[in-house]
Amino acid sequence: MPIIERVAWDNAGPEDIAYRFPKLTLKYGSQVIVKENQWAVFFRDGKAYDVFGPGRHTITSNNIPLLTGALKALGIIGDIFDCEVVFVSNSQFRANFGGKAYSAPSGDIKYQAEIGFYGYMLYKVEDPKLFVVEFFGNRGASTSRDVENYIRGFINERIISEFGRHDIFEVVKNADVTTDKVALKISDEAARVGLKVIDCVFEGINIPEEARRFASGLGAQAMMMQYMKETAGELKGAEGGGAAAAGLGAGVGLTMPFLMAQQLQQAQTAQAQQVVICPNCGAKNPVGMKFCGQCGSSLAPPAKIKCPKCGAENPAGMKFCGQCGSPLTQTAETTCPNCGAKNPPGMKFCGNCGAKLG
């Protein structure tokens, strides 16, 4: 291989994030020219060594001590050596993302909604050495396009994974908060591969109407009933020996509707367990009964009378307030001597004509 006297990434475009010079034969004295928005990373055998920032660099054993040490460890002594140089841009880039993800299982029927999403992420390389190891060492990238594809896949994978941690109730009721959590998680993950996320913007979240109804709570019960109805119909139609019948014989297919029916029965049982205690005999009566099934007493809430002095409520029939001891007997209404209108007890002037009462 010819000895390279000068290495530079001269034709870098605005969309190029990195460029790999493979199988270079360099010598101490070769020139490495790094532009203002670049780094140059020395790379060999899947490992990243020394990093050059912007400037014109003449290679010596002093400014690439890590690579020099590795060469000596391999028994390579002399002024000529083989390695790779990966140039990395430190400009800001944009990566569009989009796809579909499933929410975490929700509710009694473990409902999962398919959520559509799209948006973009602004990012830049923050740690060029870590970036080169991750993408050119571990992932085998060779070009900027390879890196872009990996980053796009990296974002989508993280979003899909993170949506799987949030149930549909959280996504519907707190969509902005949920996407912020997802974006924060992506930022943390990106730092591990040498990237810095400047902004992660979700331009759209597509939540099916079915999922919105499910998240309302009432819709969840309706969906469970509908599912049971449809499943029961399928099972009934398969009694003669279809695929569903085969599933029944194998104990497969019956599990889900059986569990749902059991859960619905439990809910109904819990509702039935709500009872009203008879104030007379103490018998338990179902909610909605007006009279006790044991003794016939009224199950209506006991009437109360409010104390005219302190406002405390007392059981009907009490003569004195249990709070302040004032009489609870209502005095008669006062008839206006001028217009004849009846006024509540204690009024000093008629509410109809304003005449003085007594």
Read off the pLDDT of each residue in 187-192 and give the average, rounded to a whole number. 88
pLDDT at 236: 57
Angstrom distance (rounded) from CA 51 to CA 32: 11
Contact 165, 179 (CB under 8 A): no
In degrees rounded to 5, what are phi and psi of residue 162? Answer: -75, -40
The two tokens of residue 246 are 């085969």
- Residue-level pLDDT at 330: 56
Provide the pLDDT for residue 308: 75
Confidence of residue 50 (pLDDT cuts 50, 70, 90): very high
Is residue 107 pLDDT above 80, yes or no?
no
In which residue are the tokens 């591990």 written?
A: 192
Top-confidence range, 108-117, 189-198, 241-250, 322-331: 189-198
Indicate the average pLDDT of the chain.
Answer: 79
Does residue 65 register a pLDDT over 60? yes
Q: Read off the pLDDT of each residue in 155-168 and give the average, rounded to a whole number.
A: 86
Flag the least confident range among 79-83, 155-159, 324-328: 324-328
Which of 1, 17, 205 lies closest to 84 in space, CA to CA? 1
Beta bridge partners of 98: 118
Cβ atoms 44, 83 nearer than 8 A:
yes
The Cα 308–Cα 330 span in angstroms is 8
CA 276 to chain CA centroid, Å, is: 41
- pLDDT band at residue 217, thresholds of 50, 70 and 90? low
The Cα-based distances of 65 to 86, 107, 217, 267, 319 in angstroms read 17, 59, 64, 72, 100
Count of Cβ atoms closer than 10 Å to residue 65 Cβ: 12
Q: Which helix (H) or strand (E) holds 243?
A: helix 243-249
Cβ-contact 54, 34 below 8 angstroms:
yes
pLDDT at 218 over 60: no
pLDDT for the residue numbered 109: 73
Secondary structure (3-state) at 7: strand
Q: What local confidence, expressed as pLDDT, does residue 247 receive?
A: 39
pLDDT classification of 147: cutoffs 50, 70, 90: confident
Q: What are phi and psi of 32, to 5 degrees?
A: -120, 115
What is the structure's pLDDT at 227?
Answer: 59
> Does position 32 have pLDDT exceeding 70, yes or no?
yes
Which is more confident, 245 or 266? Answer: 266
Confidence label for 248 from pLDDT (cuts 50, 70 and 90): very low
Tell me: pLDDT of 144 over 90: no
Confidence label for 237 from pLDDT (cuts 50, 70 and 90): low
Q: What is the pLDDT of residue 250?
A: 37
Q: Is the pLDDT of residue 220 over 60?
A: no
Tens-digit pLDDT profile for residues 290-307: 777 777 777 777 677 777
- The mean pLDDT of 135-160, rounded to a whole number, is 86
Q: Give φ, ψ of 356 to 5 degrees.
A: -70, 135
User: Residue 285 corresponds to which tokens in the numbers above?
Assistant: 């009566």
> Three-state SS string across 297-332, please?
CECCCCCEEECCCCCCEEECCCCECCCCCCECCCCC
Dihedral angle sign, alpha carbons of residues 235, 240, 244, 249? positive
Chain mean position to CA 333: 63
pLDDT in the model for residue 270: 52
